[in-house]
Amino acid sequence: MSFIKPAEPTEPTEFPGPVSRTIRLAAGQCFFEHLSAGTIVHVEGGCIVVTTAPRWLASDISQAAYTLHSGGVQVIQVTGWTCLAAKGPAHCRIMVPAPRPGWWRLIKSRFGRSGFLLGNSRPPDTKATEPSVPHATSQ
């Protein structure tokens, strides 16, 4: 008879660092990807045209296009669908920033005390039980 060893408790680990991957494109090939703001596109070889996500400008849609040669870097400013188009054989590295570790703590601090999350209800407000002071307009 074999027993299954229970999993040992582990301490919470830090969030992983930035996620990085390399994309290889043939001449004339396009690559569409939904990139978040802060993502870095680094061209390691060749020439790539980066067309950013469409944005409204007055009553028209506008898209910015940047031509990056080998060694060029572009930081994506707006979250959305981005097109990477190769003018010739090219490869680039896409680096997505690591998630911010403080989000869960922020959510718990905001909603936990208000009673939305179980176990962390807000303490009673002792100042609300004080008698009201007459106001000049209430006479």
Q: Which residue has the higher pLDDT, 87 or 57?
A: 87
pLDDT over threshold 80, residue 139: no
Residue 44 lies in a domain: yes
Look up the domain containing 89 and give its range.
Answer: 19-96
- The answer to whether the CB of 102 falls within 8 A of the CB of 65 is no
Range 105-120 average pLDDT: 61
Two tokens, residue 8? 């040992």
Residue 9 lies in a domain: no
End-to-end alpha carbon distance in the chain? 85
Closest Cα partner for 19 from 81, 94, 78?
Answer: 94
Instruction: Tell me how far apart the 2 most distant CA atoms of the chain are, in Å.
Output: 85
- The answer to whether the CB of 91 falls within 8 A of the CB of 84 is no
Q: How many domains does the chain have?
A: 1
Q: Supply the pTM of this predicted model.
A: 0.60
| CATH number of the domain that residue 70 is part of | 2.60.120.10
Residue 120 lies in a domain: no
Residue 90: band (very low, low, confident or very high) from pLDDT cuts 50, 70, 90:
very high
pLDDT over threshold 60, residue 32: yes
Residue 102 lies in a domain: no
Please report the pLDDT score of residue 71 as a whole number. Answer: 94
Residue 62 lies in a domain: yes
Residue 118 lies in a domain: no
